[in-house]
Amino acid sequence: MKITSLSLGLITALVIFLPKEMPATTLSPVWSDEFNQPVGAAPDDTKWAYALSGDGWGNHELETYTNSRANSSIVSDPDTTDGKALAITAVKDAQGHYSSARLETQGKFSTAYGRIEARLKTPNGKGFWPAFWLLGAKISKVGWPACGEIDILESVDANPTVVYGTLHGPGYSGNHGLQRKLTLPGGALLSAGYHLYAVDWSPGRIAWSVDGKTYHVETASSLPAGTHWVFDDSPFFIVLNLAIGGDWPGNPDGTTTFPQSLMIDYVRVYRLTP
């Protein structure tokens, strides 16, 4: 979502919910943000930094990312665990300019291995591209995709009942990312309610799940021939953003309504013990 484009040419496979639950493990809390500050407050700046730019992020996105309360703030939401959420909000102004927010834990928190999860509700409409993902902390030294990227959630309006989970690394990035997609039971819209999106990450293995159901697993041995598993090389930081337009979702049209938000109930990181 991100450094380069995910397009419709991605390698995808339609995967329905598997009957198998996530493996039994002990979860030891490592880090979290419950977004329970006063309504109207900014995200906690001891945990999150803003990525500020309007350069399209290599995907021809339309938004300018800001640190304005119009684009990111704590709001009331009775559907969350504590009655509050972080809203990352896409706005269109009177001149037709788009703004949104991209929050990162870079320089504040990074992790290697464990369960990384967030309870999220996505927006719905043409041109929105919400994402919850991890990026290798060594990006400033080795660049992308050598740093690695783990996309825990992406969605686009062309498939509003589908969540995409993707792995990017050297030799399997952009249009060649290792992706699977999952359709919610009964064709329910992702935007209709909150869902728990997670990865369980251990040496040589990453498993994606929605609401505790595994739908995608990648291992060091499953990579394309001649490529390298970079997910044991360094910790990764967390990214939350709501893009507008771009190569994958396409641009907003006359049916798109603003403002709309990516709603985040919480983000939690655990150590996994079998």
117 is an active site residue: no
Q: Where are the alpha helices (DSSP H) in the chain?
A: 139-142
Burial class (CB in 10 A: 0-12, 13-18, 19+), 33: buried
Residue in 271, 118, 130, 274 with CA at minimum distance from that of residue 209: 118
Residue in 53, 103, 99, 97 with CA at minimum distance from that of residue 74: 103
Q: Where are the alpha helices (DSSP H) in 49-172?
A: 139-142
How many Å apart are CA 16 and CA 48, to the nearest integer? 34
Burial class (CB in 10 A: 0-12, 13-18, 19+), 30: middle
Beta-bridged to residue 272, according to DSSP, are 27
149 is an active site residue: yes
Q: Is 156 helix (H, G, I), strand (E, B) or coil?
A: coil
Catalytic residue among 63, 117, 149, 218: 149
Catalytic residue among 61, 63, 154, 218: 154
CA distances from 197 to 11, 24, 53, 82 (A): 21, 17, 27, 18
Where in the sequence numbering do the catalytic residues fall?
149, 154
